[in-house]
Amino acid sequence: MEKRITKHSFYKYLKCPSWIAHEVRGEFRENLLRLRVQDDELLQEQERKILVDRESVEISPPAKGELGGGVQDDDAHTKTLELMKQGIPSIYGGTLKHGHWVATPDLFERIDGKSTFGDYYYVACDIKRSRHLKDEYCIQGSFYAEVLRLTQGRKPQQGYVMRPDGAVEAYALDEYATKFRLTLDGIERILEGVSEPHFLTSDCKQSPWFDECKRETIGADHLSRLNRIWRSEVSSLENAGIATVHQLAAEHADLLANRVHGISAERLQFLVLGAKTLLSGKPEILGRVDLPEESDALIVDIESDPLRDLHYLFGVLDVHGAESEFHTFLAENESEEQMAWETFVAFMQTRPGISLYHYGWYEQDVFRQMAERYGAPEGFVDELAERSVDVLERLREAIIFPLSFYSLKDIAQFLGFRWRHDDASGLNSVLWYEEWLTTGNRDLLDDVLQYNEDDVRATWVVAEWARQHAV
């Protein structure tokens, strides 16, 4: 494999260092969403729509991609550098290269200030679909800034992210300097053939090598098998001679506090109990789960397409005692998103005061986004928040499951619930929806609806189980 660091290297490393390690060994698998959705021509089309009012120059498309390398990188770098010397205000799809570092932000933007180019210099900006500023974006931006420093003799102080609506968010690069350097050093070590120790996190699920990583981590009985254990905590335990889940489970938490530094006694008790639970295979009930007692409930799950910044399905399970009815508010294309939202809002207003169950924070975030985008009755979003019951949050407070991950699918399957599709997942929901838009095959749309219904029913199964057992 050609030694090459790009923005994709940082994405992969921050998800799972083993992703890069496999590629160094010449083993390649592609993340399906990136392959079939995010890296295709549609993405570039969406980006161009955002940039329509900017004075931009587009470089040859191959320079923007992950593949590239060799002469292709050199040619793109030469073109970009020539445009920078001309002082072009905005450069879309450009490439700057320094050794094996290849920076390909979506935009280079000219601003006033001294550099080797003259009375101006360039900063970098990426177009992102997420409305949240993620660390990975800022680490990528730090990489661009370092390559810019080596190119123009001046390092930008800020990085930039552009949203789907064209709004730009700035962030201070100094705040990410340490994490950037540690990440870059880690990538460089892997490229030199030095293996990173196993550390299983939920981000590993986004790697195409997740199954292998999980199997190896379980085989090594690594402490990262514990749900939400931090790297610093693993390091502290290893310094005290505890390197496996079995070793931790055999410890007495009170005595352990005398040997382990940097972890509170209360946290040590929780970690030891988590290790025992993982080995026993049985949930540990810490206390009563805080869930409403009423028999009526609304369970909500939202499906979204990150490429199109589109929330295409609001699914609601309306529970009346022992009875339940599934409702869908569906955008069959991009133009129907507002209609789907407004019909969802109208329905929710017919069920006032009923507790609103969801799994994780995402639904509440979407409610706010959609209210900003299309409007909502005064106080509607706040009222939904007051009715909100985050099942995941309530579970964490009361139950330790013998699981490494607490996703809806992990917990519901542990409790015996089964999705009707063997390959059901949020990723496949997006892929089915994208294929529906392309082919018009309603079987695919039916798959999306079925998956969403299974999600809301799984959420209710988990909540009911917790209500019955965590008492």
Each residue's pLDDT tens digit, 216-260: 899 999 999 999 999 899 999 999 999 999 999 999 998 999 999
Distance CA 339, CA 335 (A): 8
Q: Please say if the pLDDT value at position 40 is more than 50.
A: no
Q: Please say whether the beta carbons of 223 and 244 come within 8 A.
A: yes
Name which of 194-208, 362-376, 430-444 the model is least confident about: 194-208
Residues 415-435: what's their mean pLDDT?
Answer: 91
pLDDT bin (cut points 50, 70, 90) of residue 28 is confident
Q: Environment class of residue 219 by beta-carbon count within 10 Å: exposed (0-12), middle (13-18) or buried (19+)?
A: exposed
Q: Which CATH architecture has domain 221-280?
A: Orthogonal Bundle (1.10)
* pLDDT for position 36: 47
78 SS3 class? helix
Q: Coil, helix or strand for 259?
A: coil
Report d(CA 166, CA 131) in Å as an integer: 11
**CATH 1.10.150.20 region(s) of the chain?**
221-280
Q: Residue 149: what pLDDT?
A: 98
Average pLDDT, the chain: 91
Exposed, middle or buried, 237 (CB in 10 Å: 0-12/13-18/19+)? buried
Sign of CA dihedral 303, 307, 309, 310: negative
Per-residue pLDDT tens digits for 52-77? 777 788 876 544 445 566 778 899 99
- Packed helices 177-191 and 7-15: angle between N→C axes, nearest 10 degrees: 90
Which residue intervals of the chain bear CATH 3.30.420.10? 296-469
CATH number for the domain whose boundaries are 296-469: 3.30.420.10
Label the pairing between strands 90-92 and 56-58.
parallel
Write the pLDDT tens digit of every residue in 320-335. 999 999 999 999 999 9
Give the three-state DSSP class for 267. helix
CA angle 220, 224, 228 (to 5 degrees): 160
Provide mean pLDDT across the span 127-142.
Answer: 88
Cα–Cα nearest to 298, from 321, 277, 316: 316
Residue type, 194: V
- Residues with Cβ within 8 Å of 423's Cβ and at least 6 positions away in sequence, in order, are none
Question: What does the block give as tokens for 424?
Answer: 């059901």
